[in-house]
Amino acid sequence: MDLRIIIILAGVFGLIYLFKITNNFARIITGLMVVAIAISFVRVPEIAIDGYYLFAITQLLIIIYAFSYEDFSTNKKITVATIAFLGLASIVLLLGAPEGIRAYGDFYLRLLEFSGLVAGVIIGLYIYVLIKDIKSYKEEIGFLTILSADALIRFALYILALM
């Protein structure tokens, strides 16, 4: 199964949901994430990598977003910022690994393991948002869904690496 379908579906959801978002900052973040997904599918590696960098930048913006609104509850600030920070940490570690290590090596497997465990935490937090308090996350659900889809892919890669 091609795991890219997961992020494509999340990107389509984000694009559709983009028109329901009233907060301009959340709209910009979600829109940039959709653009980042599209860029990452370009067949030119030098351009596709820019999609991953843009995706990482949007996660920095999400952390800023989480703490820039005083009317957000502390729980909401921590949840949104934690999802973004963990996703960013995982991407930075995986993209920062030297090319030789990515091809093979115990160190890369450890990075993949870390990424998979972090992805599990992100998915758990997203499920918490969906079950406990989805109404207060209506502006953020677009980019949280995209981040969770990315985490789901990394978690699946981690599980596949264990086999």
Q: Are 61 and 32 in contact, with CB atoms under 8 Å apart?
A: yes
pLDDT confidence of residue 95: 74
Domain that holds residue 52: 4-162
Task: Convert the pLDDT of each residue in 77-132 to its tens digit.
Answer: 999 999 999 999 988 887 766 554 555 567 767 777 888 999 999 999 999 999 99
Q: What pTM, to 2 d.p., does this model score?
A: 0.92
Of 20, 29, 101, 114, nearest to 63 by C-alpha is 29
pLDDT, position 97: 61
Share of the chain above pLDDT 90, in %: 72
Number of H helices, E strands in the chain: 7, 0
Owner of token pair 């921590």: 78
